[in-house]
Structures are given as structure tokens and as C-alpha cells.
Structure 1
Amino acid sequence: MLSRSLLRSTLSAAKANTRVRTFKQEDQPRLRIGSTAPDFKVDTTEGPIEFHKWIGDSWTVFFSHPADFTPVCTTELGAFAALKDEFSKRNVKLIGLSAEGVDSHKAWIKDIEDITPGLKTFSFPIIADTDREVSFLYDMVDEEGFKNLNGGIVQTIRSVYVIDPSKKIRITFTYPPSCGRNSAEVLRVIDALQLADKKGVVTPIDWTAGKDVIIPPTVSNEDAKKKFGEFDEVKPYLRYTKV
């Protein structure tokens, strides 16, 4: 197995030779909730993928990392990998990204497996974004990193995109490199989104599965009675029910 120092020196040489175009802010997609997630072709630890084809009819959690062999990211990838069965129950695929190569990612995975209690096998792909194309498409860099996209040190920030089967972006999170993510929160918002899509409800502050939900104001009391049965009207615009 290549040493980490050799992997990094090989990566640095590769980066110097993989620049394919100049990154300009005016060319960057404006991604909002409801935008179609940009498609791309890329190499990963599980082989080449076309992103939209890879998503298929699943939901997807797509998240980036500042670099391989970084402490916070190692704990994050381990936590998500340990919850893979929970995501699978919700028809959710996981995919990570770091702006380093596949060999580096594969070496890093061994560390992730070592430090994560109960994790025997890491089992979702990590994108090798050595040319920074995907980081640019999804704006996965901070202000200083964007200035360096065309040459210099670039570390992706901790971006998270929840993408539905129609390839629409449903939720985004952005964390600075110093702050670890909350895997339970990602599961919680997926539960909320899927319930809203299925039942036509919205969820209140701190909602978790099994708690009361809110009937949207666009639904009349008469229709709410037909659809949900009993409900609690706290205010004319705030009505709680169970699903």
C-alpha cells in the first residue's frame, strides 16, 4: 500500500496536470432548494459513476470533506457508514467527496474502519474530485478556497445535499471545517421530507418520527377533517394532528 506521504506527493503532481479550465464565479450554477442537482461523471472508490444514473429512483445524501486523513471527517464518514442500514430503510444512498484521488481515499477508508466502533466494512462510494469540477459545480468551497480553485490549496467545506429521486435538491447544510456534522439530524430531516411528501403535512420545531405534525394552512378545516380525522386547532393557522 502506498504511504500517505507518497499518496499526497503523487496527488500534488496529478493536480498540477489536471487543470481543464478556468473556474469563474459567473459560470457556477445557482443551487437552491428545488434546483435540479447538477449531473456529472466522475471516478469513485467503487468505480466510475454518472451521478443521476447512480441515484436512480433513490434519495441521496451527498456530502463533501476538506481532505483525506483529516480528524473530524474521519469520524463523520465512520458515523454515516455505521448508519447505512438506517439510510437504506429510507431508500437513501450515501456518497461522499474529497478533492483527492481514489488511492488516497481507499487508504483513508482503512483508518475510518479502524476508528469506528462496530464498523466492519465501509460500504458507500467516495468521489475523487482531483480536478475540483464537482466542488465547483456544487460550490463546496469557502471564500478563500474559491479564490484558489484555479491554482493553490483548496479544501472543500462540509457541504451536505439531500437529493430526492426526481434529482431535486431538497435540503442543504453548510458547515465550516472546524464543526462536525450531526448524522441524526440528517436522518431526521429525511424522515420529515418523506412524511411531508407522502401525507401532505409539515413538521414543527424539533419534530421527530411519531410526534404530531402540522396541517398546512392551505388545507381547509373541512378537508382536514376528511383527510386527517381529529385535529387540534391552536390558532386558525396552527393545527396539529397525528399521522
Structure 2
Amino acid sequence: MLDDYLCCQPGPPVLNEPAPEFSAVTTQGPMELEDYRGKWVVLFSHPADFTPVCTTEFMAFAGVYEELKALNVYLIGLSIDSVHAHLGWIRNIKERMGVDIPFPVIADLDMNVARLYGMIQEGASSTATVRCVFFIDPEGILRAMIYYPLSNGRYIPEIVRLVKALQTTDENGVATPANWQPGDKVVVPPPATQEEADKRLNEGYDCKDWYLCFRDI
């Protein structure tokens, strides 16, 4: 019965909980998510190989690969195409566009990983993954996720910026304001008690009011 099938399917991934574990075949051999413990992971899906928007995205991701790697961040791509299709497309990008694709790409023909991560959105397509991005920290915790429609490519600098913002939060115990860029002031966590609120304005921060204070890092 359909109801019985649906009741047994995993729910969508949840922020600040462990990212769903998986094993997969990739263009660089078999892998498990566990292999990346101790590293940040950006796992992203694309609708299909040999498609125009996805090709531009792969080239853009390749362009930030070294920058992310220097931040201990590893890219992993995915679509429900075969590993042979992935390899053919990667070779085509190299031959026609002159761009090497240095990161592994998961071949998810059975849609196992796609369904674990909610990459299949029935309202968009039942046979292709939408453009998802998942940010997984070194402890294996899912820290952020972004979904894009099939029709629109991602703005890759925002993905790099968000990685840096998450790492800044972890390293300094702060938050980042709207439009934050590395080097900008960060937001001090708001006070949790009346006593902390009374003290806040005299603690040397750049305060606009007791609940909104900034500092340099």
C-alpha cells in the first residue's frame, strides 16, 4: 500500500542534527560520508549531466575548489545519472571548456542519497534532483541547506561566504549579520538575563541597543 510505503521513508534532513549517512559510487571511486569526518563537506546536487546550466555550475564549483579545500571543505556533487555519464560529461567539460572537475560526483541511479536528503522535489520533477546544497561540519552535523529550482543556477560566491560565516561562528562564538563578508564586524550573542542586558552597553562593544551589539574579530 502507498501509505505503508510512505510511512517507512526517511524524513527530510534537519538542521543541527547528524547528516544522513550513506555509501555511494563516485567518479573517484567508492565513498562513505564517514570518510569525511573531521572535514567540512559541501554536498550539492544537479538535475542532469550534459545540461547547460549544470555545466556552468560545475565550472564555477571547480573555480572555488582550491579556496574551499584551503578551508578544510570538500565538494561532492551528485545526480541520478550513471558514473559513465558523469565521466563522459567531465571529459567533455575538460575538452570543450578547458576546465578540470577535481571533485567526486556521486552516481545515484537508485536515488538512495537523493531521497535521504530530500533532493527529489515532486513539484519540480520526479526523475531529477533539484539544485540542493548541504553544509556538513566536521562532526557530521548538517549546519545549513539551500534549495534552488531546476531553472536557475546557484551563486557560488554565496556558498563560499556561508562556509566562512559558519566557521567564524564556530571559532568565535558569534553570529554574522546580513550581508556579512569576512573582515566585517560580527554580532555578539544577545544577553540571556536582565543582569547581562544591563551590563551589555558597558562591555566595550559597538552597541546600537542592548540587544544589538557588534565587535571586530
**TM-score normalised per structure 1:** 0.80
- Residues 23-32 or 165-174, more deviating: 23-32
Deviation of 1:75 (Å): 0.7
Answering whether residue 21 of structure 2 is matched by residue 39 of structure 1, we say yes
Identity %: 38
> Structure 1 unaligned runs (5+)?
1-21, 149-153
Deviation of 1:221 (Å): 6.9
Superposed, 1:1-243 pairs within 5 Å as: 24=6, 26-53=8-35, 55-114=36-95, 116=97, 119=99, 121-144=100-123, 148=126, 154-218=127-191, 220=196, 230-243=204-217
CA contact (8 A) 2:80 2:129 kept: yes
Deviation of 1:218 (Å): 3.3
* SS at structure 1 position matched to 2:14: coil
Residue of structure 2 equivalent to 1:18: none
What CA distance in whole angstroms lies between the structure 1 residues aligned with 2:22 and 2:10? 14
Deviation of 1:28 (Å): 1.9
* SS at structure 2 position matched to 1:83: helix
CA contact (8 A) 2:50 2:89 kept: yes
- Cα RMSD (Å) of the superposition? 2.3
* SS at structure 2 position matched to 1:143: coil
What CA distance in whole angstroms lies between the structure 2 residues aligned with 1:94 and 1:225? 42
Cα 1:47–1:174 change in 2 (3 A) is same
Deviation of 1:111 (Å): 2.7
Deviation of 1:222 (Å): 9.2
- Aligned partner of 1:134: which letter? V
- Aligned partner of 1:124: which letter? F
What CA distance in whole angstroms lies between the structure 2 residues aligned with 1:109 and 1:78? 10
- Aligned partner of 2:25: which letter? D
**TM-score normalised per structure 2:** 0.89
Deviation of 1:24 (Å): 3.0
Deviation of 1:113 (Å): 2.7
What CA distance in whole angstroms lies between the structure 2 residues aligned with 1:90 and 1:223? 36
- Residues 105-114 or 84-93, more deviating: 105-114
Off by >6 Å, runs of 4+ in structure 1: 221-226
- Aligned partner of 2:31: which letter? I
- Aligned partner of 1:180: which letter? G
> Structure 2 unaligned runs (5+)?
none
What CA distance in whole angstroms lies between the structure 2 residues aligned with 1:25 and 1:176? 27
- Aligned partner of 1:166: which letter? E
* SS at structure 2 position matched to 1:36: coil
